[in-house]
Chain A
Amino acid sequence: MSNRRTFLKTLGLSSASFVLGVSSFAKGNAVVNMTTDPLSLALEINPFIVIQPSGQITLINPRPDMGQGSTQAVPSLLAEELEVSLDQVTIAQSDGKGKYGNQTSGGSSSVRALWTPIRQAGAAAKEMLIKAAAQRWSVPESECYVEKAKVIHRPSGKSLTYGEVADDASKLEIPKNPKLKDAKDFKIIGKYAPRLDVPARVTGKAVYGIDVEVPGMVYAVMLHSPMIHGKVVSIDDSEALKIKGVQKVLKCERPMPHRTSEAVAIIADNYWAALSAKKAVKVQWDNGTLGQTLTTAAYFKKCAEAATKEGLKAEEEGDFAATFGAAAKKLEAVYETPFLAHAPMEPENAIAHIKDDGTAEVWAPIQGPDWALRDLAGYLKIKPEQIKINVALLGGAFGRKAYHDFLLEACFLSKDVKKPVKLVWTREDDITQGPYRPGMMARMQGGVDAKGNIVAYHHHPIGESIQFQVFKAPSNKPDDWVCGELSQKEQKYNIPAFKISYTHVPTEIPIVWWRSVYASNFGFSQEGFFDELAHAANKDPLKARLELMSDARFKKVLETLAEKANWGEKLPAGQGKGIAIFKSFGSISACCVTVAKQGTGVKIEKVVSVIDCGHYVNPDNVKAQTEGNIVMGITAAVKKGITFTNGQSDHTNFHQYQVMRMNEMPKVEIHIVESGAEPGGVGEPGLPPIAPALANAVFAATGKRIRRLPFDLNTLA
């Protein structure tokens, strides 16, 4: 009991409430997990439930919401087992401390990772509440059941609210193996429910990171190096300091995982003054040779050179060289995908307060408070328990807000000015500074035998490694983030000679995960090239895939797609359909794109997307995420990517870095395959098949093969 009260204090919740049940999971013993030294940042997930005497139920949600719906999905898992309704669960966001385990929204992992532990937590709490009520009534537990946050004694009809028995329940042993509901009895999971956070989001009341204010704060804007890594030679702030409200102009730094760059910041008592001063500050930069070296053309040139050589072998089934050598038809092609900015609608921002006593408090829209805690502790050289992280809602993120340069910049500035500093990046900072989805290349080889069978396949990804640049992973072995998901085990193409290689080409352009990570690059090369192989084999692209796949779930996804997209129907002249399938983050997604010739290019008429994500929480949210993946997938295929010429991004804001808008929306249809399998991801898997299906549709309609993204829909160039 005393332990549980201790946790409560660390949570900052009222001491009149009781932590209940909760955990489950890994070690089956909540008390041990909960009292683990918060210094440790590597624990199993261990969120928990607080039930107050008032009956209020609070879930400590370990996954920040960036629009993917974790504030509905996670409490749904709890509410299902605890037998309460969603509106009875209050959500508090975890603060990064080790006892909550992994807290990063990324890798489409929230429901996948929490599916069992949160349900077990709810089930354990329910069993404890029943036991406490039964003891108070001196009746057998078997005569009691729960409904709508009450324990009810069936024979007598008497009841106690969860709040009324919470204190007693919290003194009981936590059941090690609570009984989980059978899926057929789910009332919440798998059913439509409106998201309870939507009303706040449509009335201007939802508080995003950029909306947070704290007493005594000052505003900051960054003047980043135009060539990202240039050095500050001199700063002329004479004009800037004349602007009313401007307090200070200082040299500072932008800490990134692979290097720390020099920067300049303007501190002011309001944001507009700081922004105005940014235009008035004159900085001389020493860019060294960045003008020659920091270019995407130079990077892709190195990638192209690598594409003429063998890479590091990651996997080989059969004998690729021999099979390819003996093939009747040999195909070789190089595919290319550009660097991309995430461009979440809410620009990067953070408030940091480094206090006189050496402790730190931050408020920020970040995807992973646990990662942020690690980064902050490392950067500030203080202990995690000296840091308090407040996670606000994220106005989009797509991977960007799990990279903490902006957060550490705010820390640097607060340390200097000794006040809370609210730093807000401009859109220009966001688009010109990275980090970006890495631009990548892929060398493809494939062979078809005399009977028309696809017998040899070699996928050779080339380019910068996120694990190398962000985590300093060794460069001398294949990047498993790249190669792992391209494996035959994952993608299920039973081609007899199947090989994956990798060549690392480094760049100083900052890169990081972007929605669906490398699947967004190599889904394109895999599925575009497979289409080429199918045509070389004189086979229908869908049938060619079905022939090579024996996995029932893949087949079902393809068959569903064929039916829903009317694959095989006779199309009007000038129209074409393309398909693609890709497994990522535990889910299988396929799509069919229909295009129609229009002038010198094509128009996207329709996208039909099918996903098998196993068990899911809210079908409407699966659809919403897939809609988003379609829009972002098309944008990535046909809008300009990020290019660096002479050391600088060629695009600065949305007038140049264009994204898809409503007038470009095709008809969209989404279908969920009900496999009842373990939950897969939902936030990302819909994206990888979009670009290749589109490119394959362009080929079907026009005969033009697209191997390089982006391409212009109007000219197909």
Chain B
Amino acid sequence: MAAITLDINGKKHDLDIDPKMPLLWAIRDVVGLKGTKFGCGMAQCGACTVHMNGHPTRSCVLPVQSVVGSKITTIEGIGTEENLHPVQKAWIDEQVPQCGYCQSGQIMAAAALLKDKPTPTDADITSAMQGHICRCGTYDRIRKAIHTAAKSKSPKGEMSGGK
């Protein structure tokens, strides 16, 4: 056990946990943010994806000691029902989720993609998203929703909404 300070969604959390605990379990079971999901525990499915300093990262294999000092953003940190991130809004517009369990990770990956490439090609989307498994089979809608989100940018080229 050790004192570990995590910066999650702009808030500092002082935790006394095993430094080897994967970030996923610290987020879910210690900090109590349940939107980030456990799917495989070996970075194969993408359900646990969060942003580390803006980059999509698999939290299920990332020890908390390695993220001290980094800014972590989870699905709860990019938008809310009242103030949706454009990617979340596009996910609603295209009715992407079925069970929805993998979608937090999918949305985090898509949001990071659009930050890097505001108007991604189909190849860009495939490359960014193929690490994510959806057993309900929503891949086509995910692709559509990313294009929809790309079109929803403000004239300045910034993603609107969310914080």
Contact = CB atoms under 8 A, between A and B. Distances in A.
A238 B80 CA distance: 46
A244 B1 contact: yes
A346 interface: yes
Given A199-B92, A244-B1, A663-B126, A396 B99 contact: yes
A395 B95 contact: no
Interface in A71-126: none
B24 to A, nearest CB: 9
B47 interface: yes
A630 B36 CA distance: 27
A426 B42 CA distance: 11
Contacts of A245: 18
B38 A203 contact: no
Given A653-B41, A654-B40, 13 more contacts: A197-B100, A198-B92, A201-B97, A202-B103, A203-B81, A270-B25, A272-B22, A345-B134, A347-B39, A426-B41, A620-B95, A624-B141, A632-B137
Interface string A266-300: 00001111011000000000000000000000000
B133 to A, nearest CB: 6
B153 to A, nearest CB: 18
Contacts of B142: 662
Return the 5 tightest CB-CB contacts between A and B, nearest first: A204-B35, A631-B137, A67-B99, A395-B101, A201-B100
A628 interface: yes
A200 interface: yes
A620 B144 CA distance: 14
5 contacts: A198-B91, A344-B101, A396-B135, A427-B39, A632-B137
A235 interface: no
A202 B92 contact: yes
A205 interface: yes
Given A205-B81, A244-B1, A270 B30 contact: yes
A272 B23 CA distance: 10
Given A345-B47, A624-B95, A662-B126, A395 B137 contact: no
Interface of A: 65-69, 194-195, 197-208, 210-211, 219, 244-245, 270-273, 275-276, 343-347, 393-398, 424, 426-427, 620, 624-625, 627-632, 653-655, 659-663, 665, 668
Nearest to B99: A67
Contact of A396 (B29, B38, B136, B140): B136
Interface of B: 1, 18, 20-22, 25, 28-30, 33-42, 44-45, 47, 74-76, 79-81, 84, 88, 91-92, 95-104, 107, 125-126, 129-143
Contacts of B97: 67, 198, 201-202
Given A67-B99, A204-B35, A662 B143 contact: yes
A623 B43 CA distance: 30
Contact of A346 (B35, B88, B101, B126): B101
A669 B113 CA distance: 27
A346 B136 contact: no
Contacts of B42: 427, 653-655
Contact of B107 (A202, A270, A271, A426): A202
A273 B140 CA distance: 38
Contacts of B138: 624, 627-628
Given A203-B79, A272-B18, A345 B91 contact: no
A203 B80 contact: yes
A625 B22 CA distance: 34
A631 B139 contact: yes
Nearest to A192: B95
A653 B129 contact: no
A344 B18 CA distance: 29
Given A202-B103, A203-B75, A653-B40, A67 B98 contact: yes
A424 B25 contact: no
Contacts of A68: 98
A204 B25 contact: no
A424 B91 CA distance: 28
Contacts of A210: 37-38
Contact of B137 (A344, A427, A628): A628
B38 A347 contact: yes
A624 B47 contact: no
A536 B101 CA distance: 47
A345 B99 contact: yes
